[in-house]
Structure 1
């Protein structure tokens, strides 16, 4: 794994943890447990497959998932220094992967 990948994963982990903190410890634990049990992966390791995170948020908090997704996107894009797209609530998974791609591209320039 390259340094760029490690830096992105760390930024993603921090963004997810920050966003989940608004829900409180109990809900964060439920979401973490759900994704670990269902997919055998830690929540903060879903950067390569953000659909898993999206599914866990939907299962745990349903409509509130969009608020958390927006918070993750804002934090992640800010942390990696990539400009946030205007319509950030549509296709959460795509936006995460786009941030990763843009960050990797900028790191190689």
Structure 2
């Protein structure tokens, strides 16, 4: 009887871990495109810039390999460009130039804030 209970206790977590692999389920955090449909341009921009800052910060703290850093950074930089292009359709060129120059400033500000919180 005890072996049966032990088998059940160990098999349930094992099945929960293996199920997504067998069924080839998409990870929730990788499928955010559905959520982005309801977000405003400003919310999308803030989200992407925060993510870029997080990626940069994690890389600087050696939490990301260089390969992962490049892959994630490229992905989110492309997203940032698309958002800025979308935003360009709504604003005039002067506003766009100001926003483009502030990208690195926003990332740096976020990194400094993150470092300050960790200290």
Same fold (TM over 0.5): no
Structure with a larger share of its residues in helix? 2
What is the TM-score of this pair, normalised by structure 2? Answer: 0.31
Q: Give the TM-score normalised by structure 1.
A: 0.33
Q: With a CA cutoff of 8 Å and minimum separation of 6, indicate the structure with the bigger relative contact order.
A: 1
Higher-Rg member (1/2):
2
